[in-house]
Structure 1
């Protein structure tokens, strides 16, 4: 097992202001296989969500030189998940999502020669280990429904709550062809009847391949009549077979522990959520009744204490037809965060937290085998907010459903989709030697690295 000492570690800045630099989510490796380049995006302004014609520089950070080299530009990005830049296998080629006039695509970029070598007719959310196939969703639908999508291309499924011609797609990078792997309708038909009786604005998001690349995990989400959101953790084979529902309730961030288990934060099948999906609430006019019932339920019904309906925790959930649930890290992992299991030693995970009451985010390692943590420091959010005299629903959230804005809150949605809202989203070095993360604690959004083995020289 990899040994990481429990001592004070200092983070190092690897990008330079005044421009803002970021990578994105906690589910993708940022370093290449050799460890001498890191993927990143660069923009000049982050005080609003991405706009239809806004572009970001896409390129690499030379490491350890710590110099950002722009290679091409993209207008297919968001701040929480970037442009889904990712390395193709163990090569120095990477993909980056782009907008191709009326649809989303991806550039294939040679990081050594610093040029685009191919353009794909489809975007990519995650790649298989060989770099042959990519999986993706409808990013226009995601944007319209308040998820981590892209702005600038109309959603052709906007009139459908549960479309049959939209879902998860599988593309072949070698042939530049793609096909629908599983539709939103197919996902809604699996499991409890309430998920397909009505449910507004179903969508699929957060695709993640298992370590072996044999199965794909994702979240199926839809709006409840009372304005709330239900999430189901699902998996499917990479050829579209064996579709499963593993859990339902309030579910958020996850990663694969191994090929048979998924780690996820949430409350599983909580009592109030089941009641909020009673058939009567799906009837015309039921939304008014549902909102009233929701207020009453909050006052009189509290979560239980058993594993499947108790308070929120990190759960290890088996990927099978009748999954078992096991709470993970109960002594230390007491709040939601963004976990990434170490690819070099899956006993270890890196995770952050949301800001506390004073705006501090914590970063830590957790050893699941020995049940202990290594503190990696605290990083404070800044108090700057978008200019509310300038930004509103019409110009900052073009194309987003009014119902979504109403449910989420206009200012909250604008702020959390801007670059000012900066979760750390920690990412492992492929050999476990370091972690990288985004942070805004020094006033601009930049990328930082904590090196656990500095004496080794180049990572």
Structure 2
């Protein structure tokens, strides 16, 4: 089912703009300012030398762009992890450490907290992945590990890439206090490897991704991944976990370990299509909280892959949108839990991606638009739609390249969600 959903570009496209991932809103609490990164290029490999301007568009003042900082610590998928800090008039983004050598878990990188009222900037010792919704703490991981395991979301080192153990006891998930900058390791890769271990883990490199705190900040979810063949994402193995905010009460919701014929010596990873990984029947990706105790994810359960909604307490899972939501996408719930906002990956023949809303009360899908992406962008430089809700759930922001530049767009869904 298709309905009218007016769309407009943000800004004058005098430069390229994008926000990044789908898991956090780039709208401020009043839906009047829109975070984004401004760059001077449409595409290209990121080496750690390129600068992104960090700032926001004032939607109430003709989309005027306000610069609040700059960073060389960014990628095309997640940007600089730019995000609002709780209900304060503050933003945070990742940055490259430019001071004297220091003894921190990830010495090349840090984060910058900018107070928009005072104009002051405070440096925090670790790069962030995501903040708790109230802004009290951040969850932090190793972006240098991503450079080996999932380069699309990594940050290049300042000088030399660090050597990485496969599953060390001193790397994993750090929790950083936003007020003090104090941090501690609350869950290590060694612990995850030892938790209900699988034979496939023995020779594999391990990492953690897709962290997300629940609305109250009491628990967070993440995906534990491991592989022996980092160059082929179809060889990634996955487990979906939730855990308390302090690293206690670890719960395994799903394990997608499976045989890997691709590990044969004669397998050609170049034969794998750009988006084959996203369409794998064993993929676990894009988990998000619906509530403090419910998690939606694209993944397999009981031998079939769907949008599954898990009960974090019992581990029970049920299919959402059977026969309708049949492709992997970047999904989030509206505040009232009725609507799912999501997208698709590019169609192999048309290179078009669909943005849609799904009404969980009526099991009705509303396609909002189709957006072309050049097929030669490749894996690391691609531009997923990564749809994000406004706080009043009447507007959707996406990143897109369908007009030949990389820009952010606003889609008005008022008529649909108000019907």
Question: Deviation digits for residues 358-383 of structure 1, max 9, x if unmatched?
Answer: 01100011122321122211111124
- Partner of 1:427 in structure 2? 388
- Partner of 1:105 in structure 2? 110
Matches of 1:383 and 1:203, distance apart in 2: 29
- Which of 174, 180, 199 aligns to 1:175? It is 180
Question: Deviation digits for residues 410-446 of structure 1, max 9, x if unmatched?
Answer: xxxxx2112xx11100000012121100000000000
- Partner of 2:311 in structure 1? 318
After superposition, residues 96-135 of structure 1 pair within 5 angstroms as 96-101=93-98, 102-112=107-117, 115-135=119-139
Task: Name structure 1 gaps, 5 residues minimum.
Answer: 269-307, 386-414, 455-459
- Partner of 1:334 in structure 2? 326
Matches of 1:235 and 1:435, distance apart in 2: 28
Matches of 1:25 and 1:84, distance apart in 2: 8
Matches of 1:20 and 1:329, distance apart in 2: 35
* Residues 159 and 95 of structure 1, relative CA distance in 2, 3 Å threshold: closer
Matches of 2:369 and 2:406, distance apart in 1: 17
Answer yes or no: is the 8 Å Cα contact 1:14–1:67 preserved in 2: no
- Which of 37, 41, 47 aligns to 1:41? It is 37
Structure 1 residue 116 displacement after superposition: 4.0
Structure 1 residue 252 displacement after superposition: 1.4
After superposition, residues 118-267 of structure 1 pair within 5 angstroms as 118-147=122-151, 148-153=153-158, 154=160, 156=162, 158-194=163-199, 196=201, 198-224=202-228, 228-249=235-256, 250-267=283-300
Matches of 1:128 and 1:327, distance apart in 2: 27
Answer yes or no: is the 8 Å Cα contact 1:92–1:112 preserved in 2: yes
Answer yes or no: is the 8 Å Cα contact 1:257–1:341 preserved in 2: yes
Matches of 1:142 and 1:22, distance apart in 2: 21
SS at match of 2:145: helix
Task: Name structure 2 gaps, 5 residues minimum.
Answer: 99-106, 257-282
Structure 1 residue 97 displacement after superposition: 0.7
TM norm structure 1: 0.78
Matches of 2:254 and 2:134, distance apart in 1: 29
Matches of 1:174 and 1:22, distance apart in 2: 28
SS at match of 2:187: strand
SS at match of 1:317: strand
Task: Choose between structure 1 and 2 for higher RCO, CA contacts under 8 A separated by at least 6 residues.
Answer: 1
Matches of 1:130 and 1:225, distance apart in 2: 38
Matches of 1:327 and 1:191, distance apart in 2: 26
SS at match of 1:187: helix
* Residues 125 and 165 of structure 1, relative CA distance in 2, 3 Å threshold: same
Matches of 2:384 and 2:133, distance apart in 1: 27
Matches of 1:15 and 1:266, distance apart in 2: 37
- Which of 404, 412, 416 aligns to 1:443? It is 404
- Partner of 2:275 in structure 1? none
Structure 1 residue 257 displacement after superposition: 1.8
- Partner of 1:309 in structure 2? 303
Question: Deviation digits for residues 262-282 of structure 1, max 9, x if unmatched?
Answer: 1111224xxxxxxxxxxxxxx
Question: Deviation digits for residues 42-91 of structure 1, max 9, x if unmatched?
Answer: 11113222112111000011113212222210111111111111111112
- Is 1:354 the equivalent of 2:338? no
Question: Deviation digits for residues 143-187 of structure 1, max 9, x if unmatched?
Answer: 22224121124554x341111100000001111111101001111
- Partner of 1:77 in structure 2? 74
- Which of 389, 414, 417 aligns to 2:380? It is 417
Answer yes or no: is the 8 Å Cα contact 2:134–2:217 preserved in 1: no
RMSD: 2.0
Answer yes or no: is the 8 Å Cα contact 2:346–2:373 preserved in 1: yes
- Partner of 2:84 in structure 1? 87
Question: Deviation digits for residues 307-334 of structure 1, max 9, x if unmatched?
Answer: x112x211112224x5112111113211
* Residues 225 and 352 of structure 1, relative CA distance in 2, 3 Å threshold: closer
Answer yes or no: is the 8 Å Cα contact 2:145–2:164 preserved in 1: no
SS at match of 2:253: strand
Answer yes or no: is the 8 Å Cα contact 1:144–1:155 preserved in 2: no
Runs of 4+ in structure 1 off by over 6 angstroms are: none
- Partner of 1:285 in structure 2? none
- Partner of 2:367 in structure 1? 375
* Residues 202 and 430 of structure 1, relative CA distance in 2, 3 Å threshold: same
